[in-house]
Chain A
Amino acid sequence: MITVENLSKRYGNTTVVDGVSLTVERNSITAIVGTSGSGKSTLLRMINRLVEPSSGRVLIDGRDTRDEPAYLLRRHIGYVIQGNGLFPHRTVAENIATVPRLLGWEARRIEARVAELLEVFALDPASYAHALPHQLSGGQQQRVGVARALAAEPMVLLMDEPFGALDPIIRAKAQDDLLDIQRRFGMTVVLVTHDMDEAFRLGTQVAVMSGGRLLQYDRPAVLLTQPADPFVARMTGLADRAMRLLSLVTAGEAALPGTCDGPAVPPTATLREVLSELLWRGADSARVVDAEGRVRGQLTVGAILARGRP
């Protein structure tokens, strides 16, 4: 759990982050969104003390982050940045081994951990362990960047626009991977992005920042239905907020009892996708069918539309 208490950062007369307080639950993903200059990156960088706060404090699992030197603190916090920041002179395996080496792990343990991470991130050790970063594709480099951040099994992972440099298709894949990885390792993720879709897709909780202040911090659905501020409403998108709301609910969650003749949709599909499918086919209802072919219920257009209202 990360507790941010009344955190501020001032450079001279300019206040970049202004009295932000929030609590990030264990084993969750929090997305911080805001326009450029909103202070979101500075807030993130104050958690691992790459930026020292002017006032306020940060607790991780109840311990003040100032209790130990900043560089020791950072060895237990994963950090991923835009453009991945891989060391160009070190191989993929050496890059991943960076923090375990700093922590003085035994060689055999490092080797095992590197092998495990390469497998998790679908990088064949035979072809990639000894490759240099510039020999990899952008998506692969990004995966190595995340693997490196997770190498020492940190409980907290900070990500600063981690997918910003990727093209849309690879980015969607990377986002799915992150969700899988978070479920698998169960770390607490704080992610900064300027992309509201990304925030909604990944965030258990979303924090909206503007002008250094935290405007609202809540579940995505609450941001849509009860925006605390006109800016939040604008950020979350007035024009397609109903569609956004639908994209937060899966067919499995919304399915009603019974079955019908309509097209089959998987339980993992969002209501937005189901609605789109129904529009495309000119049908009124869809069957929710799981991977084993069992019917899990049905969805009518009316039921879906009802979910799109606040």
Chain B
Amino acid sequence: MENIFEKSLERYFTHEQLVKIRSVKVGIAGAGGLGSNCAMNLVRSGFRNFVICDFDVVEGSNLNRQFYFTDQIGEFKVEALKQNLLRINPSLNLEIHRKKLEAGDSTKLFADCDAVVEAFDKAECKQMIAEEFFDSGKFFVAASGLAGWGNSDRITIRRVHAAFHMAGDFTSEVGAGVPPCSPRVNIAAAKEADLILNWVLSR
């Protein structure tokens, strides 16, 4: 039986649109500021099927921007994220992996995903997965340049090719005096989610 959340989505989407959204499986590489918030946005948009991978645990310093709560400190992020996403929609099909992705892992882990979200922290990890999914045929979204505050209209979408888009201002790197803050991180994460929603509904 449809739960109240899924029933309520019928107010916003046609049956045909919901069928499209629910047929897609999304892989999310990283469950930090980008991944946890992108997942939340996708779940609220009706997506049901996910493969989410992260090795880390929730720390107090994550709570300034990531979709976790104080009582989840010390829990593995993928476990905590699963709980939080199921609170929005209890009927999700969530496959979670508690591991650090090394070169070559993600193509296997996300083999049956239609779309993949790059949601890593380190530039080197972003590069690794972008190379792996550059010409994979899957719809791939990445983010680069979201640190600090202000000038949030500079966080834009760059279309690399039809199946590879990036969100960010492409320059603002996290560093001394330029912390990752909730508004800009969330804007980039929401843009990643919106790219996938738009891709699915345009098909």
A, B in one complex: no
